[in-house]
Amino acid sequence: MPIKLPSFRPRKDAYPPDLWTKCPSCSEMLFNKQLDKSDRICPTCGHHFRLSAEARLALLLDDRSFREEDAGLQSVDALGFVDQKPYPDRLAAAQMATGLRDAAVRGTGLIDGHPVAICVMDFGFMGGSMGAVVGEKVTRAAEQALADRLPLVIVSASGGARMQEGTLALMQLAKTCGALERLRAAGVPYISVMSDPTTGGVFASYAVLGDVNLAEPNALIGFAGARVQAGTIAQELPPGFQRAEFLFDHGFIDRVVHRRELRSEIALLLRYLVPGDGVDEPPESRPGFTIDPIGFLTSLAEKVVPDLGPLDDAPAPNGGGGGAEAGAANGSARSTRLGRPSTAPTRRAAGRPRATTVEGEATDG
Amino acid sequence: MVDRLLGRRPGSTDDATHDAKSAMWNRVQLARNIRRPRTLDLLALMADDVVELHGDRAFGDDAAMACGFARIDGHRVAFIGQQKGADTEENIRRNFGMPHPEGYRKAMRVMELAERFGLPIVTFVDVPGAHPGPESEERGIAEAIARSIGLMSRLRTPIIAVITGEGGSGGALAVAVGDVVIALENAVYSVISPEGCAAILWRSADEAATAALAMRMSADDQLALGVIDRVVPEPGEGAHADHAETARRLRAVIVGELDRLGRIPLPELLDARYRRYRTLGAYTETATPPVPPPSSRGLGDRLRDLLDPARWLTGKTGSGPSRRDEPAAREEE
The residue type at B182: I
Residues A267, A201 within the same domain: yes
pLDDT score recorded for residue A234: 63
- End-to-end CA separation in angstroms for chain B: 30
- CB pair distance less than 8 Å for B301 and A331: no
Q: Report yes or no on A175 lying in a domain.
A: yes
Residue with the bigger pLDDT between B79 and A44: it is B79
Residues 284-303 of chain A whose Cβ lies under 8 A from any Cβ of chain B: none
- Cα-Cα-Cα-Cα torsion B202, B203, B208, B212, nearest 10 degrees, comes to 40
Q: Report yes or no on A67 lying in a domain.
A: yes
pLDDT score recorded for residue A30: 83
pLDDT digit string, tens, across residues A191-200: 999 998 999 9
User: Percent of chain B beyond pLDDT 90?
Assistant: 59
Rounded to a whole number, what is the distance in Å from the CA of B259 to chain A's nearest CA?
25
Q: Report yes or no on A131 lying in a domain.
A: yes
- CB pair distance less than 8 Å for A180 and B150: yes
Residue B226, exposed/middle/buried by CB under 10 A (0-12, 13-18, 19+)?
Answer: middle
Q: Confidence band (pLDDT; 50, 70, 90) for B172?
A: very high
Query: CB contacts < 8 Å between A and B, how many?
Result: 373
Please list every residue in chain A whose beta carbon sits closer than 8 Å to the beta carbon of residue B296. 364
Residue A357: which residues within 8 A CB-CB, separation 6 or more?
A58, A63, A327, A328, A329, A330
User: Given B132, B191, B289, which is nearest A232 (Cβ)?
Assistant: B132
Closest residue on chain A to B290 (Cα): A68
Residues A227, A308 within the same domain: no
Domain finish residue from A273, A301, A325 = A273
Q: Confidence band (pLDDT; 50, 70, 90) for A38?
A: confident
Please list every residue in chain B whose beta carbon sits closer than 8 Å to the beta carbon of residue A201. 169-170, 191, 332-333
Residue with the bigger pLDDT between B4 and A156: it is A156
Candidates B48, B57, B47; CA nearest to B81 is B47
Please list every residue in chain B whose beta carbon sits closer than 8 Å to the beta carbon of residue A223. 130, 132, 136-137, 141-142, 145, 170, 333
Residue B167: which residues within 8 A CB-CB, separation 6 or more?
A167, B125, B126, B127, B173, B176, B183, B187, B188, B189, B190
Candidates A164, A199, A183, A175; CA nearest to A85 is A164
Residues A319, A191 within the same domain: no
Q: How many domains does chain A have?
A: 2
Q: Report yes or no on A6 lying in a domain.
A: no
Closest residue on chain A to B302 (Cα): A7
Residues A263, A322 within the same domain: no
pLDDT digit string, tens, across residues A124-149: 999 999 999 999 999 999 999 999 99
Looking at the complex, does the CB of residue B153 fall below 8 Å from at least one CB of chain A?
A: yes
Residues A148, A296 within the same domain: no
pLDDT digit string, tens, across residues B310-332: 554 454 444 433 344 444 344 33
- Residue B326 carries which DSSP code? P
Q: Report yes or no on B16 lying in a domain.
A: no
* Mean pLDDT within B174-182: 95
Top-ranked range on mean pLDDT: pick from A219-228, A280-289, A322-331, B224-233: B224-233
Q: Are strands A104-111 and A73-75 parallel, antiparallel or unpaired?
A: unpaired
- CB pair distance less than 8 Å for A167 and B222: yes
Looking at the complex, does the CB of residue A22 fall below 8 Å from at least one CB of chain B?
A: no
pLDDT score recorded for residue B238: 87
Q: What's the farthest any 2 CA atoms get from each other in chain A?
A: 63
Q: Which of A25, A28, A33, A173 best tests the B interface by mutation, with the highest count of B CBs <10 A?
A: A173
The secondary structure of chain B in percent helix, strand, coil, rounded to multiples of 5, reads 50, 15, 35
Domain finish residue from A242, A273, A304 = A273
Q: d(Cα B59, Cα B76) in Å, to the nearest integer?
A: 28
pLDDT digit string, tens, across residues B183-194: 999 999 999 989
Residues 38-97 of chain B whose Cβ lies under 8 A from any Cβ of chain A: none
Closest residue on chain A to B178 (Cα): A174
Q: Are strands A73-75 and B283-285 parallel, antiparallel or unpaired?
A: antiparallel
Contact A168, B227 (CB under 8 A): yes
Rounded to a whole number, what is the distance in Å from the CA of A348 to chain B's nearest CA?
25
Closest residue on chain A to B194 (Cα): A163
Rounded to a whole number, what is the distance in Å from the CA of A307 to chain B's nearest CA?
9
Contact A218, A245 (CB under 8 A): yes
Residues A214, A89 within the same domain: yes
**pLDDT higher than threshold 50 for residue A333:** no
Give the torsion sign (CA, B115, B116, B117, B118). positive
- CB pair distance less than 8 Å for B300 and A10: yes
Residue A314 sits in which domain range?
286-346
Contact A124, A97 (CB under 8 A): yes
Contact B176, B123 (CB under 8 A): yes
Q: Report yes or no on A148 lying in a domain.
A: yes
Q: d(Cα A144, Cα A155) in Å, to the nearest integer?
A: 16
Contact A149, A177 (CB under 8 A): no
Q: d(Cα A216, Cα A262) in Å, to the nearest integer?
A: 8
pTM of the model: 0.77
Q: d(Cα A217, Cα A256) in Å, to the nearest integer?
A: 6
**pLDDT higher than threshold 80 for residue A15:** no
Residue B197 sits in which domain range?
24-278
pLDDT digit string, tens, across residues B137-146: 999 999 999 9
- CB pair distance less than 8 Å for B329 and A231: no
Q: What is the CATH number of the domain that holds A213?
A: 3.90.226.10
**pLDDT higher than threshold 90 for residue B206:** no
pLDDT digit string, tens, across residues B84-96: 988 889 889 999 9
Residue B9: which residues within 8 A CB-CB, separation 6 or more?
none
Residues A248, A301 within the same domain: no
Residues A254, A310 within the same domain: no
Residue with the bigger pLDDT between A232 and A237: it is A237
Q: What are the CB-based long-range contacts (under 8 Å, 24+) for B91-97?
A: B93/B63, B94/B63, B94/B64, B95/B62, B95/B63, B95/B64, B95/B131, B96/B64, B96/B128, B97/B38, B97/B64, B97/B126, B97/B127, B97/B128
Q: d(Cα A34, Cα A19) in Å, to the nearest integer?
A: 10
Residue A203, classed as helix, strand or coil, is helix
Rounded to a whole number, what is the distance in Å from the CA of B331 to chain A's nearest CA?
5
Contact B215, B209 (CB under 8 A): no
Q: How many domains does chain B have?
A: 1
Looking at the complex, does the CB of residue B317 fall below 8 Å from at least one CB of chain A?
A: yes
Looking at the complex, does the CB of residue B295 fall below 8 Å from at least one CB of chain A?
A: no
Residues A168, A302 within the same domain: no
pLDDT digit string, tens, across residues B65-117: 999 999 999 999 999 999 998 888 988 999 998 999 999 999 999 999 999 99
Q: Report yes or no on B332 lying in a domain.
A: no
Q: Are strands B180-184 and B188-190 parallel, antiparallel or unpaired?
A: unpaired
The residue type at B203: R
Rounded to a whole number, what is the distance in Å from the CA of B49 to chain A's nearest CA?
32
Q: d(Cα A118, Cα A131) in Å, to the nearest integer?
A: 18
Q: What is the CATH number of the domain that holds B251?
A: 3.90.226.10
- CB pair distance less than 8 Å for B325 and A21: yes
Residues A187, A330 within the same domain: no
Please list every residue in chain A whose beta carbon sits closer than 8 Å to the beta carbon of residue B224. none
Q: What are the CB-based long-range contacts (under 8 Å, 24+) for B3-8?
A: B4/A82, B4/A86
Residues A63, A115 within the same domain: yes
- CB pair distance less than 8 Å for B326 and A124: yes
Query: Which ipTM did the prediction report?
Result: 0.82
C-alpha distances out from residue A300 to A294, A346, A356, B29, Å: 10, 21, 11, 68
Residues A233, A291 within the same domain: no
Residue with the bigger pLDDT between A259 and A332: it is A259
Contact B307, A4 (CB under 8 A): no
Contact B170, B333 (CB under 8 A): yes
Mean predicted lDDT score pLDDT of chain B: 84
Q: d(Cα B224, Cα B238) in Å, to the nearest integer?
A: 21
Residue A338, classed as helix, strand or coil, is helix
Looking at the complex, does the CB of residue A32 fall below 8 Å from at least one CB of chain B?
A: yes
Candidates B316, B310, B321, B278; CA nearest to B153 is B278
- CB pair distance less than 8 Å for B322 and A32: yes
User: Given B137, B197, B324, which is nearest A223 (Cβ)?
Assistant: B137
